[in-house]
Copies of this chain bind each other. A is one copy, B any other.
Amino acid sequence: MKRYEQLAQSIAGLIRSGSLQPGQRIPSVRMASRTYKVSPSTVFRAYYHLENLGLIHARPQSGYFVTSLSEHALPEVPQAPEDAGSTSVAVSELVFSVLKAMRESKQAPLGSAFPGPGLFPMQRLARSMAKATRLMDLDSVVADLAPGNLNLRRQIAVRYGIGGVSVPVEDILVTDGALEALNLCLQAVTEPGDLVAIEAPAFYACLQVLERLKLQAVPIPVDPRNGIDLDALARALEHHDIRACWFMTNFQNPTGVSLSAERKRELVELLHRHQVPLVEDDVYGELYYGSQAPVTTKAFDRDGLVMHCSSFSKCLAPGYRVGWVAAGRYAEAIQRLKLMTTLSASVPAQAAIADYLEFGGYDRHLRSLRARLESQKHQMFAAIDRHFPADVRFTRPAGGYFLWLELPGQVDTLTLFQRAAEAGISLAPGPMFSATRDFRHCLRLNYGHPWTAELDQVMARLGALVAAN
C-alpha cells in the first residue's frame, strides 16, 4: 500500500469510528504533514482520495471537513395497513411517460436504471465474444436453446456453490435478462386475478408485470433500515390468498436496502409455512460493498419454493440480455413457458459470457466495480450534504447504486420531475414505484455513474429545485 493510501486509511478509520465527527475540521495539510511525518504532497493525495470517497469535503478558504451525514436521518417506514388490502395495478402510463421524457432529452442520468456503461469490461467481453462465436459448435445453435448453454449454466451453479448453496444445473434456466425470468416465474405460478405480495415501494417493472398479467398487488412496506416488513407480510399471508411474492432481498430497487441473513431465513420459513413461492429479483446481489457477499434466500430454501432470478446486465454485460433463474420445483414449468415465448436467449451472448466467466477475471472485475460504486455512493452522500436542504432524508445502501430520498412533505416529485427535466436533469419520482401512486415526496437517485464536476453541479441544481418547493 502506498504512503498516501495508508494515511487516507487511518484518517478514514478515525471518521468511521467517530473520533472525527461529521462537520469537524480535519488537520491542515501542514499540521498533518508534521504529525504523520509525510510530505505535504502525500497529505494532499490522501485528502484528495478521502474527498473522492465522499468522506471529507473542502470548503473554500477554510480547509477540509468531515462530511456530515448524521443530519439526514433515514426515510420514514411506509405505513403498514392494519389489514393489508390488495389493489389492481395501472402504473404503465406513468412509467412510460417518465421513461420517455428521460430518453428524449440529453439528461444527467440520475433517474436512469442502469449504471455507467464505462464501468464494464466491454473490450474484454468483446474478445470472449469473438472467440466464442468463432469456435461455436454448429449444432449448438440448435442444441443450446432452452434451458441454455450448458457451460454457462455450470458456471452459474459453481458461483452458487461458492456462495454456499447447492443448486443443480438442471434447475438453472438461461433467460433473456432477469426481466424475462421474472415474467416467466410469475406466469408459472399465477392465473389472472391472483394476489401477489410485492414491496412498497417496488421496482416499477414489477408493477408493470403485474399489470400485464392482470394480477392484484398486495403491497408490503419496505423499512428503509431493515427491508421488507416481515410482520406485515405475515399478516397479509394470514388474511389473503396470496399466490406468490415478488421481492428483492438485496439492495432493493428503489430503496437500496437489504434483508439481513436472519430475516431472509425468517422470510423463507414464513413462505414455507404458507407454501407460497418467492419470485426473487436479485440482479444487484453481486454489487455488495466490503468483502462479505450477502447470503441468498436460496440458502434457506428446503423445498424449492424460491425462484432466484438474476442476470449479468448490471454487473458485467449490459445489453447482452443474459439472465437466469434457479427455479427449484418450478424449473420444468418455466422452461416450457420459455420455449413457447422466446425459445432461447441469444446463443453467442451465452457462449461469450460462459467464456468470460471461465477466463476473463470476473471476480477481479467485480471487486473493482464494487469499490467504484461504493466510492460513488460517498460522493453522492457528500453532494446531498452540500447541496440539499437539511430535512432531506435518505437510505444508506450497502450495495448496488440506488438511493431513496424522502423530501420535505410539501414537495411533489412528479412536479419536481417535470422541473428537473426542463433543467436537463433526470430523476425517478416516487409514484413510479407504487401500485397506489404513493411516495409522492420520494425519489430514487442513481449513483452508478462515475463522479464528475458536472454531476456535482447537477446535484447543486437539483438541490436548489428541491429547496425552492
Q: Report A121-148 residues with CB < 8 Å from chain B CB.
A: 122-123, 125-126, 129-130, 133-134, 136, 138-142, 144-145
Q: In the complex, which of the residues B144, B319, B345 contacts A140, with contact meaning CB atoms closer than 8 Å?
A: B319
Q: Is the CB of A340 within 8 A of B133?
A: no
- A320-B340 contact given A126-B134, A126-B136, CB 8 Å threshold: no
What CA separation (Å) do A192 and B318 show in the bound complex?
A: 34
Q: Is the CB of B129 within 8 A of A348?
A: yes
Interface centre among A92, A126, A209, A340, by most chain B C-beta atoms within 10 angstroms, is A340
Q: Is the CB of A321 within 8 A of B342?
A: yes
A177 at the interface (CB under 8 A from B): yes
What CA separation (Å) do A183 and B209 show in the bound complex?
A: 15
Q: Is the CB of A126 within 8 A of B133?
A: yes
- A345-B318 contact given A122-B138, A340-B205, CB 8 Å threshold: no
Q: Is the CB of A341 within 8 A of B179?
A: yes
Interface size class of A (residues with CB under 8 A): 35 or more
Shortest CB-to-CB span from A417 to chain B, Å, is 19
Q: Is the interface of A mostly helix, strand, loop or mixed?
A: helix
Q: Is the CB of B130 within 8 A of A134?
A: yes
Q: Report A76-119 residues with CB < 8 Å from chain B CB.
A: 92, 96, 99, 112, 114, 117-118
Shortest CB-to-CB span from A409 to chain B, Å, is 32
Contact bitstring A165-190, B, C-beta under 8 A = 1, else 0: 00000000000110110010000000
Q: Which residue of B lies closest to A347 (CB)?
A: B319
What CA separation (Å) do A319 and B145 show in the bound complex?
A: 7
Q: Is the CB of B348 within 8 A of A141?
A: no
Q: In the complex, which of the residues B125, B179, B192, B349 contacts A349, with contact meaning CB atoms closer than 8 Å?
A: B349
Shortest CB-to-CB span from A170 to chain B, Å, is 14
A329 at the interface (CB under 8 A from B): no
Q: Which residue of B lies closest to A187 (CB)?
A: B212
A249 at the interface (CB under 8 A from B): no
Q: Is the CB of B340 within 8 A of A342?
A: no
Contact bitstring A387-404, B, C-beta under 8 A = 1, else 0: 000000000000000000
Q: Is the CB of B141 within 8 A of A318?
A: yes
Q: Which residue of B lies closest to A96 (CB)?
A: B336
A216 at the interface (CB under 8 A from B): no
Q: In the complex, which of the residues B123, B142, B179 contacts A343, with contact meaning CB atoms closer than 8 Å?
A: B179
Q: Report A337-380 residues with CB < 8 Å from chain B CB.
A: 337, 339-349, 352
Q: Which residues of B contact A114 (CB under 8 A)?
A: 142
Q: Which residue of B lies closest to A179 (CB)?
A: B343
Q: Is the CB of B347 within 8 A of A320?
A: yes
Q: Which residue of B lies closest to A214 (CB)?
A: B192
What CA separation (Å) do A339 and B180 show in the bound complex?
A: 10
Residues of A within 8 A of B (CB): 92, 96, 99, 112, 114, 117-118, 120, 122-123, 125-126, 129-130, 133-134, 136, 138-142, 144-145, 176-177, 179-180, 183, 192, 205, 208-209, 212, 318-322, 336-337, 339-349, 352
